[in-house]
Structure 1
Amino acid sequence: MPDRTDTRPPPRTELDELRASDRIFHALLDNAPILISTKDLQGNITMANRHFEILDGYNAATFVGSNVFELFPREIAEQLWRNDRIAALERRAIHEEESVYHRDKTLHTYMTVKFPLLDDEGQVYATCAVSTDITDAKAAQADSVTDELTGLKNRRYLNIRFSEEQKRARRDQRLLTLLLIDVDRFKEYNDSHGHPQGDQVLKAVADAMRQALSRPGDLSFRIGGDEFACLFASNSADESAALAEQIRADLAARLIPHQGNPPCGHVTLSLGLAFVAPDATLSQQEIYEQADQALYRAKHQGRNTVSR
């Protein structure tokens, strides 16, 4: 006869455990402030959590089952699908930044980890993506490494990127160029025209740099006062020198009056180049010193010139 005073709950069955786990899993999917999804090997969405409601064009009734190219603008779909394919083909987790539009039409950047899903035979049958919005963090980082006046990156960012760009140029077997730029007799210009006008000159220099160095991977910096720098890869020293000359000529052609800068009578630049061959083992400081010496030669050759 059972003991009616025993108030302990009956033991949980395996089915009870599964149901509890399933509730936890769905609660996580419904409430996690991240994007979690899976796709099959044809790019069709097979699962997506509730947070996808934040995306532009999301429709709960049709999202799951649709292809990534039906759901997103083509340039966005291509980046998403490319990363899925890498994870599936290479059978490994990858970490990439991806961009998608929110319902308010703003473009957001996500840090995404994508990894393959395997069946019982160890074959890849789908990929899973877990994405966290890093838009605000990237904006804060950009503010910390951006010169407020010109919009160029600052010296801190140059130091951050230098080693990375040196490795990239070595891998691609290209010549890495460090270009240093000074505004000729800038102190005299400020003394004559005032700092507000001097700020306009610095903005003009930044614009000339952007016009010449607009390729993916070209980096431009304001490293202090009237000192600027560029870091970029090229196929030859002559190609790099031609880009430097383009910056010099662009600013000179603007004919910004500067009577304290004879014989030109307008604002000009002095530029110094240093080159890093793919097999070079020079440190950042050594390369910077080479570019600084070239800049010194440009100034002593009469200014308004490019030296290497």
Structure 2
Amino acid sequence: MPDRNDAPAPARTELDELRASDRIFRALLDHAPVLISTKDLHGTITMANRHFEILDGYDAATFVGGNVFDLFPADIAERLWRNDRKAALEKRAVHEEEQVYHRDKTLHSYMTVKFPLLDEHGEVYATCAVSTDITDAKAARIDSVTDELTGLNNRRYYNIRFVEEQKRARRDQRTLTLLLADVDRFKEYNDTYGHPQGDEVLKAVAQCMRQTLHRPGDLCFRMGGDEFACLFSSSGPGESMAMAEQLRNCMAARLLPHAGNPPANHVTLSLGLAFIAPDSQDGQEEIYRLADQALYRAKHKGRNTVSR
């Protein structure tokens, strides 16, 4: 007679399987360190996982069932809802960076994927959002490409962006300009006034660069020491030279005393420009060499000047 212990286990019913799947799903929602939610096509929250407790103003009793425009500040709600609508209207997953406030009143950045939910007829009836906090990673990335003293981009970021900007200028059929600048007789300045005061001069150069080259797409860098660079597109050399003159004038107008820099006797800049035509085949090193030669010519002409 067969041992009762050898008898096969009874098959799990479909209801058992559904209950097990639901428990797994609920556990994921409760413990996942990401924001997971759904909205209907009117912007009403229909589901939100427990991680939403981290958000400013979250109330478990009213969050689900509330409208996005009632739950978030207007500017944030507008961005959130715009991305939901895009996913719904285009019937595809949308990847966007979004921002929300945490309970400690700090603004956090999230990378969010939003995708449509379809009914049995293939029609969109809601959207789902899965958001991951990238605040710390974004800050670390910014720190890695930012000069600590001036707040400008650093040489590492210059190397990253140069090829991208050359491709963009080629596509837009615009002249890309590489501008190099350094402070005239900066060693003598530090010897006379001290390195802390020299740091203030470098900050002043950065401020002038931001004032002069502030259009979308203008990129400013501190390359190291007192050497600075700018990458920007223009209609041609004439426009680029005019912008370089504005930068030179901005620094000269500050009239920062520099007794070791005759005949101006105040802090000045020398600037060299290289122009990259849309059809240019020159590489990054060659273009930098051309700009550096132009900077040398500016120094040779007596400093406080722009050369090409």
Deviations along 1:148-172, one digit per CA (max 9) or x if unpaired, are 2212221001111223333444445
Change (3 A) 1:137 1:166: same
Change (3 A) 1:165 1:54: farther
Q: What's 2:134 paired with?
A: 134
Change (3 A) 1:63 1:167: farther
Structure 1: 5+ residue runs without aligned partners?
Answer: none
Shift of 1:173: 4.7
Higher alpha-carbon deviation: 82-91 or 131-140: 82-91
SS in 2 for 1:222: strand
Shift of 1:205: 0.7
Change (3 A) 1:118 1:226: same
Q: What's 1:73 paired with?
A: 73
Q: Does 1:95 align with 2:95?
A: yes
Higher alpha-carbon deviation: 18-27 or 239-248: 239-248
Q: What's 1:177 paired with?
A: 177
Matches of 1:285 and 1:252, distance apart in 2: 30
Matches of 1:43 and 1:166, distance apart in 2: 42
Q: Which amino acid aligns with 1:57?
A: G
Q: What's 1:58 paired with?
A: 58
SS in 2 for 1:238: helix
Q: What's 1:224 paired with?
A: 224
Matches of 1:138 and 1:34, distance apart in 2: 16
Residues 116-131 of structure 1: pairs in structure 2 closer than 5 A? 116-131=116-131
Matches of 2:238 and 2:159, distance apart in 1: 25
Q: What's 2:156 paired with?
A: 156
Structure 2: 5+ residue runs without aligned partners?
Answer: none
Deviations along 1:207-228, one digit per CA (max 9) or x if unpaired, are 1112222334332211111001
How many correspondences in the alignment? Answer: 307
Q: What's 2:143 paired with?
A: 143
Shift of 1:295: 1.8
Higher alpha-carbon deviation: 94-103 or 104-113: 94-103
Shift of 1:144: 2.0
Percent identical among aligned pairs is 79
Matches of 2:69 and 2:172, distance apart in 1: 32
SS in 2 for 1:244: helix
Residues 1-308 of structure 1: pairs in structure 2 closer than 5 A? 10-308=10-308
Shift of 1:8: 6.7
Higher alpha-carbon deviation: 259-268 or 57-66: 57-66
Change (3 A) 1:284 1:124: farther
SS in 2 for 1:267: coil
